[in-house]
Amino acid sequence: MNKFILAIIGIVLHVNAQGQNLVPNPSFEDTIGCPVFSGQIYLSNFWFQPNTVLGNTSNSSSSDYFNECVSSLSYGVPANGLGFQYARTGAAYAGILLCYPFPFGSNYREYLEIKLSQQLINGKKYCAGFYVSVADKYRLVTDAIGIYFSNDSVLYSSSGYSNLPYVPQVSNASGNILADTANWMPVSGEYVASGGEEFIIIGNFKTDVNTNLDTIGGGAFIDEAYYFIDDIFVIEMAYDKANAGGDKMICAGDSTQLGTMQCDGCAYIWTPAAGLSDATVAQPLAFPTQTTTYILTLTDTTTADSCICKNISITTDSVTVYADGCPPPPPEQLIEIYNIFTPNGDSKNDFFYIKNLPANSSLQIFNRWGSRVYESNNYNNKWDGGGVPDGTYYYILVLQSKEAYHGFVEIRR
């Protein structure tokens, strides 16, 4: 199979393992043609350089493209005219100058720009970054590089490729000089979108006076800060933070649901697992036998495995379930059914009375021929024998618990 097809398949699998990368052609594998001169970043599909030189109507790009398909060594991979480096992924990478301080104050800069596959969403968090390596024929190194997110494309003309006047939302840490010529160094961060951002620009946005510089030894001899760049990514993070929910109070033997709705691309671990229906789901049922505090650890699996934002992909929260929140039930009270009453209007024993009668109890009264003469689905001790003569009657009492009582009661006026 063609090497470039294999490389592209590798990129797709890499992206799918992490989550959707919104950067098309993130490793510069999709090519329009092989680079033969400097400044041909546009030969890598979708990529372009935002700043141009005033009055230059020819090829005004200066950001470089490197690929194994080059027959000469000038812009090949791994060997080229600027250094030696294998692609981090696939067969290609880009290169830009971050600082050219001579003459000091010229603020000469090169950038990479691309349109994302979709606009960012207001309030969503994104893991954004890339990898860099110092071109080993260049002696200067710096910490000044980052990503600027823009709602529209940036096309900026200057008199000499000067720095773009923006503040990047994701930047390499100040003081973290990127000085490795042998390995690829990660630059990444978390970005909360305002909404509508659709372009990213990578480069040094600082002026010369604000750019920290250092030097490296070895065979480097060019007093400029030049870097190879590969594997750019902008990946939506699936969570805000772990949320175990509010504290709960349950009766002994009861259960309650913990946590909040599941998010896509999140992995859940609850500890301790004892007393939970499933310690690996977003909303387990908890039925502890004693008061227990459960800790939820949430991992955003879209960034945890290989994305270099993995240090911000894990959060924790806790919830306490109080298992002694209900008082003990009252002791059962014995039902007493009187077998005679005298409804003569003297306000003494005028009703068929049942002591400790529970609510929602049903009562039926039958005469000696089996005809029902009275019925209530919620008897309240108020039957006075109205409508029937003195005599002996048969009752059936059924409690809400389905416990049944039956016997005889006499009416004597």
Share of the chain above pLDDT 70, in %: 85
Q: What is the pLDDT of residue 190?
A: 86
- Residue-averaged pLDDT of the chain: 85
**Residues 255 and 288: beta-carbon distance below 8 Å:** no
d(CA 342, CA 6): 100
| Burial of residue 382, with CB atoms counted within 10 A of its CB: 0-12 exposed, 13-18 middle, 19 or more buried | exposed
Please give the helix or strand (H or E) that residue 41 lies within, else none. Answer: none
Residue 405 has pLDDT above 80, yes or no: yes
pLDDT in tens, 127-173: 899 999 999 999 999 999 999 999 998 877 665 678 898 999 999 99
Q: Where in the chain is the domain with CATH 2.60.120.260?
A: 3-236
Residue with the bigger pLDDT between 217 and 407: it is: 407
Please name which of 409, 353, 356 lies closest in space to residue 381, comparing C-alpha atoms. 353
Residue with the bigger pLDDT between 201 and 60: it is: 201
d(CA 307, CA 304): 6
Q: What is the pLDDT of residue 372?
A: 93
What average pLDDT does range 213-239 have in this prediction?
87
Res. 376 pLDDT band, cuts 50 70 90: very high
Residue 322 has pLDDT above 50, yes or no: yes
**Residues 49 and 41: beta-carbon distance below 8 Å:** yes
CATH superfamily name and code, 3-236: Galactose-binding domain-like (2.60.120.260)
pLDDT in tens, 44-98: 999 998 876 544 444 456 899 999 998 777 899 999 999 999 999 999 999 999 9
Q: What is the pLDDT of residue 303?
A: 53
Residue with the bigger pLDDT between 190 and 7: it is: 190
Residue 326 has pLDDT above 80, yes or no: no
CATH of 336-411 given 3.40.720, 1.10.1760, 1.10.150, 2.60.40: 2.60.40
Residue 176 has pLDDT above 70, yes or no: yes
pLDDT in tens, 288-310: 989 999 999 988 765 543 445 65
| Burial of residue 261, with CB atoms counted within 10 A of its CB: 0-12 exposed, 13-18 middle, 19 or more buried | exposed
Q: Where in the chain is the domain with CATH 2.60.40?
A: 248-322, 336-411
pLDDT in tens, 245-284: 999 988 877 889 999 877 767 889 999 999 999 999 999 9
pLDDT in tens, 111-129: 999 999 999 999 888 889 9
Share of the chain above pLDDT 90, in %: 60
d(CA 397, CA 159): 101
Q: What is the pLDDT of residue 387?
A: 87
Class for domain 248-322, per CATH?
Answer: mainly beta
Please name which of 322, 348, 96 lies closest in space to residue 226, comparing C-alpha atoms. 96
> Phi/psi class of residue 128: alpha, beta or left (left: φ > 0; alpha: ψ in -120 to 50)?
beta
pLDDT in tens, 188-198: 988 999 999 99
d(CA 83, CA 85): 7
d(CA 265, CA 127): 14
pLDDT in tens, 13-55: 333 334 589 999 999 999 999 998 888 999 999 999 887 654 4
Q: What is the pLDDT of residue 53?
A: 52
pTM, full prediction: 0.61
